[in-house]
Copies of this chain bind each other. A is one copy, B any other.
Amino acid sequence: MKININADIGESYGRYSIGNDSELMQMIGSANIACGMHAGDPTIMMGTIRLAIDNRVSMGAHPGFNDIWGFGRRQIRMRPLDLEYLVTYQIGALKVMAETQGAHITHVKPHGALNNMAHDDLDYALAIGRAIRAVDRDLIYVANATSQMTKAGEQLGLPVANEAYVDRVYDDNGKMASREREDAVIRDPGKAASQVLSILENKALTSANGRRIPVDIHSFCIHGDEPTAVPLMREVRRHLAHAGIEVVSLPDLFGFRRDEGQMRSWPL
């Protein structure tokens, strides 16, 4: 059995550092690289691209709202068309930067409040999907399982990777519980590993209230900006290895062949 693990990476900004990218990069299959709007700057982006290449990690764009102060975690209500172009812009910048290093991005994963809003709002989910499709219809749309993004991706004919979180508690609708809840973020490695194995074994999320929500997960995500990310990831990997589950990149999981055109030469 194969699974992907992805993390938000490259979320430092200028003199401000966040996360433990160099360690985390060794433990994931795919990196969601911030594109300069909610975090990341051109220099950070380039360094993160090289780090991903060095670690043979596949890369994707991690577009967010244009909001450094809010780290992309403030919900912003905008016209879907403006959002579509804002996402296209970010994917474009990262795509070309990766190509200057001989690499190709293979997925897109929205960030923070954009991800949360697109979970429920089909207009937002479609705007993101149209941006992805306009750039390259082989880009994988990484979408919260049970969300409108999954629906939008399918509707637009994009490859969709359903994801669940290693480090977040779920509510009864299969959505991440709000960060305002005390227990929203899982920081205990054992608890995180249990959640991952439980989701795979039961083919379902279990909400904080114990509700079972059926899902078929391609990828597990971890928040790179949490100081606990590395120990959590280590424990999750240990449990996955023990269960005989291999961690691969998203393009490997989706059976993309390398060296056959643009999308086929991600880090190898």
Contact = CB atoms under 8 A, between A and B. Distances in A.
Nearest to A92: B96
A86 to B, nearest CB: 5
A265 to B, nearest CB: 16
A45 interface: yes
B85 A43 contact: yes
A108 to B, nearest CB: 12
Given A76-B74, A85-B45, A18 B15 contact: yes
Contacts of A135: 96, 99-100
A60 interface: no
Interface in A47-101: 66-71, 73-78, 81-82, 85-86, 88-97, 99-100
A194 to B, nearest CB: 28
A119 to B, nearest CB: 14
User: Which of A67, A77, A113, A225 has the most chain B CB within a 10 Å cutoff?
Assistant: A77
A65 B110 CA distance: 23
A235 interface: no
User: Which of A17, A74, A95 has the most chain B CB within a 10 Å cutoff?
Assistant: A74
A46 B88 CA distance: 10
Interface residues of A, number: 44
User: Which of A69, A81, A90 has the most chain B CB within a 10 Å cutoff?
Assistant: A69
A138 interface: no
A36 B68 contact: no
A76 B93 CA distance: 22
A188 to B, nearest CB: 22
A68 B68 contact: yes
A81 B82 CA distance: 28
A231 interface: no
B86 A42 contact: yes
Contact of A70 (B17, B69, B78): B78
Nearest to A98: B92
B68 A113 contact: no
10 contacts: A14-B68, A15-B73, A41-B69, A42-B88, A43-B81, A45-B89, A66-B69, A74-B78, A77-B113, A90-B93
Please provide the 3 A-B residue pairs with the shortest distance between their CB atoms, ordered closest to farther. Answer: A92-B96, A42-B85, A16-B16
